[in-house]
Structure 1
Amino acid sequence: MSSSRFMITVIGIDKVGIVAGITQVMAQYNVNIVDISQTIMDDLFTMIMLAQVKDESFDLSAFQQAMSEKGSELGVEVKVQHEDVFRFMHRI
């Protein structure tokens, strides 16, 4: 893989440390944030990121698992999808 982009969505009840926890895992896997949007509606936290990795040996399954585990630890739902899959699933 020469360069891949991913959509990362995070949804849950707002609390301190969500962004820090999620981006910590991203840094461990050398995943860069290309674009980010984050909103809090009442007490509901939502964040969507376009992220990119340039590592030839990047293990998407391991990254998805690590993000899911961090989400469980933080009490939020985290989904990681390849950009092409995300766009296909959300087309009109």
Structure 2
Amino acid sequence: MKCVISVLGKDRSGIVAAIATALADCGANIDDISQTILDDIFSMTMLATLDTEKADFNTVQERLAKISDDLGMQIIIQREDVFQYMYKI
């Protein structure tokens, strides 16, 4: 299952490492990643493939929610198909 992960918040060290580690622990693969820092604001978008036999969408979402709380950042995960439908005209 492909997912889009969006991250936004105050820049600090360890953001990418925390998210990448959580995804790896859940058996997910990062297919593409884009990040930028505007002044002191960190923004990142990832496309990841989840291994639903190892961890389902809800499990990954809960894991990212904990990291969101720990880092004080906004982390949103969406199924790619839902993300695509949101932007169809």
TM-score, normalized by the shorter chain, greater than 0.5: yes
The answer to whether the 8 Å contact 2:33/2:47 transfers is yes
Structure 2 unmatched ranges of 5 or more = none
1:18-67 per-residue CA deviation (whole Å, 9 max, x = no partner) reads: 11111110011011011110000111100000000244353111110110
Q: What's the % identity of the aligned pairs?
A: 42
> Which secondary structure does the structure 1 equivalent of 2:13 belong to?
coil
1:79–1:39 CA distance, 2 compared to 1 (3 A): same
- TM-score, with normalisation over the residues of structure 2? 0.92
- Residue of structure 2 aligned with 1:64, choices 61, 64, 73: 61
Q: Which runs of 4+ in 1 moved over 6 A?
A: none
CA distance, structure 1, for counterparts of residue 65 and residue 42 of structure 2: 16
Higher mean alpha-carbon deviation, 46-55 vs 63-72, is at: 46-55
**How many residue pairs were aligned?**
89
Partner of 2:12: 15
Note the 1:1-92 alignment, pairs <5 A.
4-56=1-53, 58-92=55-89
1:22 alignment partner AA: I
- TM-score, with normalisation over the residues of structure 1? 0.89
